[in-house]
Amino acid sequence: MSSSSVSETGGPNFVRPNFPVKSSARSHRNQAIMVSLLIGCALVTLGTTVGIIYMLIKESMGFFAGDDINLWEFLTGTKWSVGRTQGKFDYGIWPLLSGTLRITAIAMILALPLGLVTAIYLSEYAPKSVRAILKPTLEILAGIPTVVLGFFAVKFITPNLLAPLGEFKTFNATAAGIAVGILCIPLVASLAEDALRAVPRTLREGAYGLGSTKLETTLKVIVPAALSGIISAFLLAVARAIGETMVVALAAGSSPTFTMDPRGPSQTMTGFIVHTFQSESVVPGTPGYYSIYAVAALLFLITFGITLIGQIVRMRYREEYN
Amino acid sequence: MANDYYSNPKKESGRKLKSNVFAMVCLVISSLAVVILITLLATIFISGGSWLNWEFLSGVHKEDNPEGSGIGQAVLGSALICLLCASVAIPIGIGTAIFLEEFQPRNKILRSLHGLVQLNISNLAGVPSIVYGILGLTTFVYLFNLVPSIQVNKPIPWEVGATHFYQTKTLGRTFVKFPAGDREETSIKLTQNEMCVDADGNTFELKLVDKRSEAPKDPELKKGYALRGRSASRLTERSPWYFHLPLGKSLLSAALTLALVILPIVIISSQEAIRAVPRSIREAAFGMGATRWQVVRKTVLPAATPGIMTGAILSMSRAIGEAAPVLAVMGGVLGTTSGIKSLMDQTPVLPVTIYRWAGDENAGFENASSAAIIVLLGVLLIMNSIAILLRNRYEKKLS
């Protein structure tokens, strides 16, 4: 076979196969070896999941094994302190969980509307020139390490944006929430834009043909048609905000509080884990050490559950248009 | 009545106005992203721009001295961990992607494995990175406590590339060392003659005496004698390929943990690159009698390589910015006195340095932190530009 024949058929030059090949017994044996290697690669990801679940269950059981702490008190308690106070442990998850929920709520109030409107603009309205600026901006914003946004929250958002508004502490839930919201905007925008763009052209043209304006087409036809994709984007953003670590570790402070006040410090589940590792005070085998795993198990359950629901919602949506 | 079929001109213009106003509102809200990005960059450059100089780029962290601190070690550590992480995650990721895209098994068990892996990957991508950090701590650092963990003043359960010595002082006031053999104590008493090596590399037998007077008077000869019962302390020399199990709080643990973090991203982007290769190319190869693996190796992979590399670089830029898993696995190290000698050493990395400096009570570290952020963002910018260049080249070739 001549080596220049492929480009005549219009195929790209660089994918020209180096043939002829011989399908011998050897090449089939090679294939068998390679396939088993590939299966080995695929098993690594399964192993990771199994490892995470095994580790969280095993070590959390170590946490609940003693007489001091039981699962019910962990899930309903409203006091969290590492170490004994007056001879008993206070491991009630609610101060940490409420911190996570407070910050997630603030982040979502910011990120969901902004992300959705940006997605609508990008998908339905944006002229090429605006798109050429907006799209790379969102990509850069998405690529900024979260620790940088944490720095931004402490050094800019709190002193410059929040301080004039009221009595905000140096470390507070609002600044952390805003920063987490900022990092969720590109996520919501790009996922929701994908969902909006997947709506078939015919729906748009039908709406225009009936005399709808662009606004009516967008809000009454396209957004409802893409709703399941948008909801799944929202759910992924919520999961991302709950699991966000470095922003809250820097900006939300290190005291677990059980309040609704967004101006004060609020340690989250992820923040607690990072602060514990950073202090390097935990000795393996103590309740303080096992508590990391119990908190991580709850965190994993919540984020895994939300991601799963998001996927199910999106899969249903896919069926609608095929 | 017939009028109802035609739109009211007044109402019509109202609807159009509404639509145009909405477009403007959308534009304003969307441009918030640009405003945020500019504010963020401006804040960081104002705070840290003037701190960037060669001393800062090459220096090390110093307690309570932000002006004298630098990020040399952190940059080196980040680069090393990123390379190690990539060399683990990229082959496994590409392998998994090939398995998922090109080998649709007919066997029932394998097919369910196929579906399970695919579902699992999208779920893994949503797991918070701190959970990976805890996984890395439990598996790599402590090895599920299957072997005794590494403790201070205790021998390491299993190691390669380390030579243990005992060091002691002779009557001639020179230091000599002798091989530890099977002894594991941190300090022993001299009880027998030992074959020793002195500072110049000469080997000789160290003789023990009970009293100083028993040794020769000549200062040169005295160097071959030591008092019986004198203590000798344990000394360990590590080669560059030094390795131990469990991996402990080492940069190898951190790199492996980060590899798990980016693995789903590598797989998903490689899958997309492989999927983008036209079917006709595969079918031409099959038509020539190639086995499936030959098709993959000789046609699909070469065609998908630019796309795969783009995804790989983007995932590496994710790994280089991750702080939480590294904090969990290595602790918040800011600097080491000896630098990196082997994969079992701890090392500071850029994101952790930024985190620790940003949280420092000494306000000067705030500026140092922003300067480090500028460096990190610069590195990310370079990596992303390479990825975009690759992507553009790739798109041209296939169209």
Mutate to test the interface with B, among A48, A120, A236, A276 (most CBs of B within 10 A): A48
Average pLDDT over residues B145-167: 73
| Under 8 Å between Cβ of B175 and B168 | yes
Between residues 117 and 176 of chain A, which touch chain B (CB distance below 8 Å)? 117-118, 120-122, 125-126, 130, 133-134, 137-138, 140-141, 143-152, 154-156
A-chain residue closest to B90, CA distance: A41
Cross-chain residue pair B130–A270, CB shorter than 8 Å: yes
User: Taking CB atoms and an 8 Å limit, are A277 and B331 in contact across chains?
Assistant: yes
Are B124 and B301 in contact by the 8 Å Cβ rule? The answer is no
Q: Is the Cβ of A15 closer than 8 Å to some Cβ of chain B?
A: yes
B260 vs B233 pLDDT, higher one: B260
- pLDDT bin (cut points 50, 70, 90) of residue B8 is low
Percent pLDDT > 90 in chain A is 50
Q: Say what the pLDDT of residue B1 is.
A: 45
Tens of pLDDT, residue by residue over B329-384, are 988 888 887 778 888 888 999 999 999 999 888 888 989 999 999 999 999 999 98
Per the CATH hierarchy, to which homologous superfamily does domain B54-146+248-398 belong? MetI-like (1.10.3720.10)
Q: Which CATH number fits domain A94-320: 3.40.190.10, 1.10.3720.10, 2.130.10.10, 3.40.50.300?
A: 1.10.3720.10
Interface of A with B in 257-276 (CB under 8 A): 270, 273-274
Query: What is the arithmetic mean of pLDDT over A72-97?
Result: 80
Query: What mean pLDDT, rounded, does chain B reach?
Result: 86
Query: Above 50 in pLDDT, residue A11?
Result: no
Going by the DSSP 8-state scheme, the letter that residue B148 receives in this structure is P
Cβ-defined contact of A21 to B122 (cutoff 8 Å): no
Residue B158: phi and psi, rounded to 5, are -150, 125
CB contact under 8 A, B331 and A155: no
Mean pLDDT (chain A) is 85
* DSSP output for B328-392: HHH-S----SS---STTS----HHHHHHHHHT-SSTHHHHHHHHHHHHHHHHHHHHHHHHHHHHH
Q: How many CB pairs under 8 A join A and B?
A: 294
Span B297-317, mean pLDDT?
91
With CA atoms as reference, the chain B residue closest to A28 would be B291
Q: Residues 6 or more apart from A191 whose CB is under 8 A from it?
A: A119, A229, A232, A233, A236, A237
Measure in Å the smallest separation between the Cα of B252 and chain A Cα atoms: 17
Q: How far is residue B342's CA from residue A322's CA, in Å, rounded to a whole number?
A: 55
Query: Do residue B95 and residue A46 have CB atoms under 8 angstroms apart?
Result: no
pLDDT at residue B147 in the model: 66
Q: Are strands B225-227 and B203-209 parallel, antiparallel or unpaired?
A: parallel
Which is higher by pLDDT, B370 or B168? Answer: B370
**CA distance, residue A265 to nearest chain B CA (Å):** 15
Q: Where are the domains of chain B?
A: 54-146+248-398, 158-244
pLDDT tier, A315 (very low <50, low <70, confident <90, very high otherwise) = confident
- Please list the alpha-helical segments (H only) found in chain A: 5-8, 25-65, 71-76, 94-120, 128-143, 146-152, 173-197, 201-209, 214-216, 223-225, 227-243, 246-251, 269-279, 287-320
Give the model's pLDDT for residue A16. 46
**Test mutation, B34, B106, B131, B352, chain A, max A CBs within 10 A:** B131
Cβ contacts (< 8 Å) between A55 and chain B: which residues?
134-135, 138-139, 144
Closest CA to B246 of B340, B346, B162, B344: B344
* CB-based contact, A292 to chain B, within 8 Å: yes
Q: How far apart are CA B325 and CA B319, in angstroms?
A: 10
So what's the pLDDT on residue A248? 94
Interface test with A, best of B26, B111, B146, B149 (most A CBs within 10 A): B26
Q: Between these two residues, B395 and B51, which has the higher pLDDT value? A: B51
**What per-residue confidence (pLDDT) applies to B109?**
84
Backbone angles phi, psi at B148, to 5 degrees: -55, 140
Rounded distance, CA B62 to CA B68, Å? 7
Contact B18 A215 (CB under 8 A): yes
Whether the CB of A281 is below 8 Å from some CB of chain B: the reply is: no
| Burial tier of B226 (Cβ tally within 10 Å: 0-12, 13-18, 19+) | buried
Whole-angstrom Cα distance, residue A220 to residue B22? 14
B288 and A148: CB-CB below 8 Å?
Answer: no
Average pLDDT over residues A55-80: 84
Please indicate if any CB of chain B lies within 8 Å of the CB of A42.
yes
| Chain A residue at shortest CA distance from B96 | A42
**H/E element, B177:** strand B175-179
